Amino acid sequence: MSRYWSDIVHQLTPYVPGEQPKIAGLVKLNTNECPYPPSPRVLQAIAEQTGEALRLYPDPQATALREAIARHHGLKAEQVFVGNGSDEVLAHVFMALLRHEAPLLHPDISYSFYPVYARLYGITTREIPLDEQFAIRVDDYLAAPANGGIIFPNPNAPTGMALPLSEVRRLLQGNRESVVVVDEAYVDFGAESAARLVDEFPQLLVVHTLSKSRALAGLRVGYALGHPDLIEALVRVKDSFNSYPLDRLAIAGGVAAMDDVAWFEDTCRRTIATRERMAAALRDRGFEVLPSAANFVFARHPGHDGAELAAGLREQRVLVRHFRRPERIAAFLRISVGTEEQTDALLAALDTVLAR
């Protein structure tokens, strides 16, 4: 605290990301990073930008990247907005499209950054509880009083559970007066993307990241897909904040990542295969594992406390994520899908901890 702080700083409750400890030999399954290195083509494209070109500012519109993303989704570049990670894209979305008189709706168990942005921008929110099976229930959103916007991850985080595209469509059909943001950070691991609905619904914004399914959490690239009017709102905020959120390395690496379809499909396939093996092995050990369409699983053990399990695993040099709140998920562990070897290490560590 300092008397030099502005009023708003006193009122902030910042997001706390998963730890990035520097412990040798750690099996790091706490932040849903990809366990495999990025496409070699990405590394090559970045290397080509590390010379004399760094003297010059990057393209403020990141046109080459927006075109590559548009190609991938069968959309036009004017339907694409890019930012410094999807967290930055989301921040601009809150400011540009979700700040209205009526409250923003989001699931009670969801990405914990949403309430942080809402607080930063003075947006009131209404939490809509997940159902008994931890699923998003579209009818509850349609039954709520007037809203200033709706946001949810699909698959949801930290549950990993996907909402079928037919349900997303039903939500859009019943909610045309405010923006619906579908945060698809994990969609490539088995859910149906709403990107194909963008031409049909002018109130839909779909947000993606290169951090998970393209192994580029360190490069900081995210994007939004939507009607050009929604994109223009985001550009107006961005150009009032930072003209160059993506540097030359991020633009070049991002283009190469979007274009290397073979690497992308192979990596998603491997991740899904390991996830299914890990989920089955956890169930064999007595865990209840929610059905995951993401690169992590959310699981609880009837005989064990979530915080104690996470601490026990940490002693065995395996890092997983545990959320104390809300109370309803305090028994769960969120475990990222690692390599086959990391999965074996996780299971061995769990056997040690469960045997105590």
The footprint of ligand PLP (CB under 6 A) covers 85-87, 111, 153, 157, 183, 185, 209, 211, 217, 222
Measure CA of the first residue to CA of the last residue in the chain; give whole Å. 43
Nearer to ligand PLP, 103 or 153 (CB): 153
Q: What is the closest distance, in whole angstroms, from the C-beta atom of residue 209 to ligand PLP in the complex? A: 3
Contact 238, 130 (CB under 8 A): no
Contact 320, 313 (CB under 8 A): yes
Residue 58: DSSP 8-state = P
Nearer to ligand PLP, 209 or 271 (CB): 209
Q: What is the closest distance, in whole angstroms, from the C-beta atom of residue 211 to ligand PLP in the complex? A: 3
**145 CB burial (10 A radius; 0-12, 13-18, 19+):** exposed
What the block records as the tokens of 63 is 């046109």
Nearer to ligand PLP, 106 or 301 (CB): 106
Nearer to ligand PLP, 65 or 349 (CB): 65
Count CA atoms within 13 Å of residue 34 on its CB side: 28
204-209 and 222-226: which strand pairing?
Answer: antiparallel
Q: What is the closest distance, in whole angstroms, from the C-beta atom of residue 322 to ligand PLP in the complex? A: 16
Nearer to ligand PLP, 85 or 306 (CB): 85
In the sheet with 296-300, reading across from the earlier edge strand, the strands are: 288-289, 296-300, 332-336
Task: Name, in order, each residue with C-beta under 8 angstroms of 86's C-beta and a sequence gap of 6 or more.
Answer: 183, 185, 207, 208, 209, 211, 222, 223, 224
What the block records as the tokens of 316 is 């065995």
Q: In whole angstroms, what is the distance from residue 110 CA to residue 182 CA?
A: 12
Q: What is the closest distance, in whole angstroms, from the C-beta atom of residue 208 to ligand PLP in the complex? A: 8
Distances in Å between the Cα of 208 and the Cα atoms of 29, 82, 146 are 21, 9, 27
Q: What is the closest distance, in whole angstroms, from the C-beta atom of residue 354 to ligand PLP in the complex? A: 28
Nearer to ligand PLP, 73 or 304 (CB): 73
Nearer to ligand PLP, 152 or 201 (CB): 152
Q: What is the closest distance, in whole angstroms, from the C-beta atom of residue 256 to ligand PLP in the complex? A: 17
Q: What is the closest distance, in whole angstroms, from the C-beta atom of residue 267 to ligand PLP in the complex? A: 16
Nearer to ligand PLP, 46 or 207 (CB): 207
Q: What is the closest distance, in whole angstroms, from the C-beta atom of residue 185 to ligand PLP in the complex? A: 4
Packing angle, helices 261-284 and 340-354, rounded to 10:
20
Q: What is the closest distance, in whole angstroms, from the C-beta atom of residue 95 to ligand PLP in the complex? A: 16
Query: 3-state class of 223 per DSSP?
Result: strand
Cβ–Cβ contacts within 10 Å for residue 20, how many?
10
Nearer to ligand PLP, 136 or 350 (CB): 136
What the block records as the tokens of 298 is 């959310």
Main-chain phi, psi angles of 297, to 5 degrees: -125, 155
CA triple 58-60-61, angle to 5 deg: 120
